Amino acid sequence: MAKDGEKKTCGQVMDEWKEFIWNPRTHEFLGRTASSWGLILLFYLIFYIFLAGMFVLTMYVMLLTLDEYQPTYQDRLATPGMMIRPKLESLEITYNIENTESWDKYVQALDAFLTPYNNSQQVMNNKECTPDTYFVQEDSGEIRNNPKRSCQFNRTMLEECSGITDRDYGYRAGKPCILIKLNRVIGMLPGKDGKSPYVTCGAKKEDAANMGALVYYPPNGTFNLMYFPYYGKRAQVNYTQPLVAVKFMNATFNTDINVECKINSNTIAEPQSDRDKFAGRVSFKLRINEAKN
């Protein structure tokens, strides 16, 4: 062995490492005997089996509290979100009347979105309900009333914005249609006393004169009460989300128009903050260009 203060040779260092890995005198491997290694491995085996058992038990108990048809707890905004269609990469609808390709993408997007709303499909899948009344479908004690029925929302209810009478949804004529939908919220009752929530759209002060007149479909831009409450995707497999169409009748051409549409209801709270721009409202930009001579 080297004396204190003397530098160890490479051979001495290697001998010490070899002895640490396997000591033939004490029969120790990495500083532990076989019995010591056995005890520590047994401890960790029992420890991890216990942890795995606790995890499985916790998951089992948690799953017992879940309802496969409805969330046990719903942490959501007091005001549901809104969205528009067509919606491509951004909330901006810009096109040139003379350039068919610039607005054909919007027409195709609306055609695809409204396909499930065809009258034939609605009659086949959904029920004709009583307007202005909630379509409540209670369970009978422990007996689930599933799958629940849904009310028809026929494409023809959108009239000039249905894509049936006008295949271009007004885009060719410079009178485009925008569809608005309210996000689904399980159990939400958005009106009372027979008053359905309705949509209103407006423009910022500097754009108000450029927006022109609007026409809403269905009349008054209402989301009829018969489409509520929503019971969830699994319980209400054929649910058809109600829509409101807004048609811009004489918007000023070659000008940016910043539009905001919002939901009005006697039970849905007004947005408390401007942080969430989709809570009870949706904002988008509309620009209709016209080729100049």
> What pLDDT score was predicted for residue 63?
83
Rounded to whole angstroms, the Cα distance separating 237 from 243 reads 18
pLDDT over 80 at 258, yes or no: yes
pLDDT over 80 at 13, yes or no: no
DSSP conformation class of 112: H
Tell me the mean pLDDT in the region 78-85. 86
Q: How many residues does the chain have?
A: 293
- pTM, rounded to two decimals: 0.76
pLDDT band of 268, cuts 50, 70, 90: confident
pLDDT digits (tens, 9 = 90+) for 141-172: 777 777 889 999 999 999 999 999 999 999 99
Say if 277 falls within a structural domain.
yes
Asked if 240 and 126 sit in the same domain, the reply is yes
Task: Tell me which residue range forms the domain holding 59.
Answer: 14-64
Asked if 49 and 151 sit in the same domain, the reply is no
Rounded to whole angstroms, the Cα distance separating 62 from 119 reads 43
> What pLDDT score was predicted for residue 117?
95
**Omega before 229 cis (within 30°)?**
yes
pLDDT band of 66, cuts 50, 70, 90: confident
The pairing of strands 177-182 and 243-248 is antiparallel
Cα–Cα distances in Å, from 233 out to 42, 86, 128, 222, 242? 48, 23, 20, 23, 15
Say if 9 falls within a structural domain.
no
Domain count, the chain: 2
pLDDT over 80 at 19, yes or no: no
> What pLDDT score was predicted for residue 119?
92
The pair of structure tokens assigned to 182 is 């309210």
- CATH number of 271's domain: 2.60.40.1660
- Rg of the chain over CA atoms, in angstroms? 33
Q: Cα 242 to the chain's mean position, in Å?
A: 16
Asked if 90 and 35 sit in the same domain, the reply is no
Asked if 223 and 277 sit in the same domain, the reply is yes
> What pLDDT score was predicted for residue 293?
43
pLDDT digits (tens, 9 = 90+) for 170-225: 999 999 999 999 999 888 888 878 889 999 999 988 888 899 999 999 999 999 99
> What pLDDT score was predicted for residue 201?
94
Asked if 58 and 164 sit in the same domain, the reply is no
Rounded to whole angstroms, the Cα distance separating 199 from 179 reads 11
Report CA torsion sign: 121, 122, 123, 126: positive
Asked if 141 and 172 sit in the same domain, the reply is yes
pLDDT band of 75, cuts 50, 70, 90: low
> What pLDDT score was predicted for residue 68?
74
> What pLDDT score was predicted for residue 270?
67
Is residue 82 within 8 A of residue 280, CB to CB? The reply is yes
DSSP conformation class of 271: P
Asked if 53 and 91 sit in the same domain, the reply is no
> What pLDDT score was predicted for residue 78?
67
What pairs with residue 247 in β-bridges?
A: 177, 215
- Tell me the one-letter amino acid at 128: E
pLDDT over 60 at 5, yes or no: no
Range scoring the smallest mean pLDDT among 33-37, 46-50, 225-229: 33-37
Q: Tokens 């949804």 appear where? A: 169
Rounded to whole angstroms, the Cα distance separating 65 from 166 reads 51
Say if 69 falls within a structural domain.
no
Asked if 269 and 129 sit in the same domain, the reply is yes
Which tops the pLDDT comparison, 160 or 74? 160
Asked if 95 and 189 sit in the same domain, the reply is yes
Asked if 58 and 115 sit in the same domain, the reply is no
Domain boundary among 5, 33, 64: 64
> What pLDDT score was predicted for residue 1?
46
Asked if 28 and 107 sit in the same domain, the reply is no
For residue 103, which of 293, 286, 292, 252 has the smallest C-alpha distance? Answer: 286
Range scoring the smallest mean pLDDT among 45-49, 118-122, 136-140, 210-214: 136-140
DSSP conformation class of 206: G
Mean pLDDT of the chain: 86
Asked if 227 and 129 sit in the same domain, the reply is yes
